Amino acid sequence: GDGMLVVLTQRDKRVDAPGPGDLYDIGTVSMVHRVMKTPEGNLFVIIMGVSRTHIDEFVQFEPYLRANISVLGDEKEDESGVDFQALRRTVVSQFERIIKLSPQLPDDLQTIVINIEDAGRLADYIATNLPNLSIVSKQFVLEQIQVRKRLEFLNTELAKELEVLELRSKIQNQVQEEVGKSQREYFLREQLRAIQRELGEADDTQREIEELRQKIEAAGMTEEAKKEAERELGRLGRMSPAAAEYTVTRTYLDWLVTLPWSVLTTEKIDIIKAREVLDRDHYDLEKIKERILEYLAVLELRPQGKAPILCFVGPPGVGKTSLGRSIAGAMGRKFVRISLGGMRDEAEIRGHRRTYIGALPGQIIQNIRRAGSRDPVFMLDEIDKLGADFRGDPASALLEVLDPEQNVAFRDHYLDVAFDLSRVFFITTANVLDTVPSALRDRMEVIELPGYTEEEKVQIARNYLVPRSRENSGLQPDQIEFQDETIHFIVRHYTRETGVRNLERQITSICRKQARRLLEGKDPRLVVTPQVVMELLGAPKYQLEEEVEERVKRPGVVIGLAWTPVGGDILFVEANISKGSRHLTVTGQVGDVMQESTKAALTWVRSYASELGLEADFYKEKDVHVHVPAGSIPKDGPSAGVTMVTALVSALTGTPIRPKLAMTGEITLSGHVLPVGGIKEKVLAARRAKIEELILPAQNEKNVKEDIQPELLREIKIHYVKTIEEVLNLAFEKPVLRVIPTEPVQQAI
């Protein structure tokens, strides 16, 4: 009767007959200004908002809603503050810029906004007129009785809208510029063609098409490729050179005619020369060299045979990539290489379809063209570091490339015709195989490149690294000399790797320093001794032998052996016993498997408490802490089981283990020692640390005999064990077990 209404917003606009539960609790008290009836019989009501209001309780539901309400006023605060004024001016400034960029907003809004003095009314007015502000956001502004919160929310929303509008304006300007440029180029090209016709000059387009036709005939394409090239050439002849499609088709034809469809390396294979090249570039690696020479022999007898697909697996710095280059030299073929590390886009392998702007063939076809023949040595480096995302899976795309049954008709998305890759000698490299999909791994012949021994590193340094570093530093052979003793010293005290990359860095550093000394007028000839190395490179970085001897003197410290993607390493396991209440703590960033090994080790020790001279309930008043140093490095795996047991027994009995002894092996609750992997890498790591005795699972004896040369074992005595009792008897100077049980023991309770 007084012309006043409460206007509420629906929570879900799809509800045709909303009830009280479908409406927001906060709305607007409004005055009816005018009511008009439309020709369709509906009412058109013009209202004016008066104030915010809260619905306290609905008191009537039919024929219309009535409710008790509370009028909400703005919470006033000091608007003269510097931060409040800065917020207000920022909101007004952003809204003024939006008015200029939005064609649907009238310019007089700017005048209105500037003249609104009340900050609350200003926020409400801007929220009402802000384009693209959602109903939910407007309701949020309505519900805020604190003016500052309204302004802060609007400041964020205005910034978002302003960013969108500025980007849209930038895009529109770019489009207009491109359209104007294209039109101008079209008119200029038409005028140029008209002038050329008047002068009687030959049509360059026709001459270009004729050249392409001759190249197609001479390219030696397959029937499918030739047919597609001729079809595209016909389309090219019907296009205007000014058309955008003309350049796309012309580029496609360039790719087709420049690929080596029928170009093969014609050099006759010389097995003797190939062997010399491989021996010249790489030391040892006999298995790999034999495999390459076998393939070359088969290729000589059967030239049409398919090339093998090899996968070199090994730690960094052992020569995987350089070996591929040497293989190409031994075969007299071109060498191309792409790095797959971090590659996530399938199109990098198969190329983009020509419908995309700037499309190109994939890396396979690009490098085949770069090689200039269809039988290069093609290295796919770091295949274990391929990624995958929404753009596809490059590893799946490689399935076709690395399958001899399929790559005879490899189809790049850009070319869209088959290309024969069967004569390409593919070599892949990886540090580990765990991340290589099994389907891809099955297509490759895996050849492992283990880490080098100290003697091998010395030979490599003397024959390869020293001459190369000397030459790269501009030195002559008589200006610097490395003794074998010195190289041994550098390997032991300045590098800790399975490869030789860091060794070469250290040698190169010494050569650089000698080059500087020469120019400063110092020693014209330098004989590098261990003392000189310490003067030039500083104090030794690694004192592994001293560290091993010092740490194992204490009870509870045992040396284990670990395998990592970069080779083998020794691993210290420390156990400490303190007063407490049956708590087991495992630290050192160890994984779930290693934690479970620790629990199994403790259970075994509790089972053998009496045999170890411990009280049966010793664990009730003890806390056990097992720590694996180098806590910043994640560690996991079951191979430290015997090491955990030995460390616990050593700590509980107060007996240190024998010096220079290391061990590896998985344990069971019944005390059996199970085989583990990475034996060769672990044995080499033990040699580097000058370990004299090793305890290995008996089932790993065959791995030692097959993978490790006998001369590498001269300085190490290996004990093969089947049970943890044997381990303990070997690990300590005096027996710690009073009675050796003959039957497996059940889990301790």
- The DSSP symbol for 589 reads S
- Residue (of 564, 690, 284) closest to 449 by Cα position: 284
pLDDT of 744 above 60: no
Residue 146 has what pLDDT?
Answer: 86
Backbone angles phi, psi at 737, to 5 degrees: -90, 125
Residues above pLDDT 90, as percent of the chain: 18
Backbone angles phi, psi at 561, to 5 degrees: -125, 140
* C-alpha separations of 167 from 13, 106, 170, 185, 414 in Å: 31, 21, 5, 27, 32
pLDDT digits (tens, 9 = 90+) for 295-305: 888 877 887 77
Q: Which of 102, 422, 639, 650 is catalytic?
A: 639
Burial group, residue 35, by CB count within 10 angstroms (0-12, 13-18, 19+): exposed
What is the C-alpha separation between 452 and 499, in angstroms, rounded? 6
Q: How would you classify the pairing of strands 425-430 and 66-72?
A: unpaired
Q: How would you classify the pairing of strands 661-663 and 418-419?
A: unpaired
Length of the chain: 749
What fold does the segment set 454-542 form as a domain?
Helicase, Ruva Protein; domain 3 (1.10.8)
What is the C-alpha separation between 23 and 7, in angstroms, rounded? 10
* C-alpha separations of 219 from 212, 257, 301, 670, 673 in Å: 10, 6, 28, 71, 65
pLDDT digits (tens, 9 = 90+) for 588-598: 888 889 999 99
Q: What is the DSSP string of 573-595?
A: EEEEEEESSS-EEEESSB-HHHH
633 contacts 589 by C-beta, under 8 angstroms = yes
Q: Which of 289, 334, 680, 682 is catalytic?
A: 682
Split at pLDDT 50, 70, 90, the class of 632 is low
pLDDT digits (tens, 9 = 90+) for 603-612: 999 888 888 8
Q: Give the residue extent of every domain in the chain.
A: 4-72, 204-258, 271-448, 454-542, 545-731
Write a three-state SS string for 655-685: CCCCCCEEECCEECCCCEEECCCCHHHHHHH
Q: What would be the CATH architecture of the domain defined by 545-731?
A: 2-Layer Sandwich (3.30)
- In this predicted structure, which of 63-67, 353-357, 743-747 has the lowest mean pLDDT? 743-747
Alpha helices in 424-559 (DSSP H): 438-441, 454-460, 466-472, 484-494, 501-519, 530-537, 544-551
Backbone angles phi, psi at 4, to 5 degrees: -110, 140
Residue where the block lists tokens 């490059």: 394
Backbone angles phi, psi at 510, to 5 degrees: -65, -40
CATH number of 271-448: 3.40.50.300
Q: What is the mean pLDDT of residues 71-86?
A: 83
Q: How would you classify the pairing of strands 693-697 and 622-627?
A: unpaired
pLDDT of 741 above 70: no
What is the C-alpha separation between 564 and 555, in angstroms, rounded? 27
Residue where the block lists tokens 């530093």: 473
**Average pLDDT value over all residues in the chain:** 85
Amino acid (one-letter) located at 217: E
Q: Is 639 a catalytic residue?
A: yes
Amino acid (one-letter) located at 664: T
pLDDT digits (tens, 9 = 90+) for 184-194: 777 776 776 67
Residue 198 has what pLDDT?
Answer: 65
CATH number of 4-72: 2.30.130.40
Q: What is the mean pLDDT of residues 693-715?
A: 86
Q: Determine the 3-state secondary structure of 386 from DSSP.
A: coil
pLDDT digits (tens, 9 = 90+) for 171-221: 888 877 777 777 777 777 677 667 756 655 446 677 788 888 889 888 889
Residue 199 has what pLDDT?
Answer: 59
Q: What is the DSSP string of 619-647?
A: GGGEEEEEE-S-TTS-B--STTHHHHHHH
What is the C-alpha separation between 484 and 461, in angstroms, rounded? 9
Split at pLDDT 50, 70, 90, the class of 368 is very high
What is the C-alpha separation between 362 and 370, in angstroms, rounded? 12
Residue 545 has what pLDDT?
Answer: 67
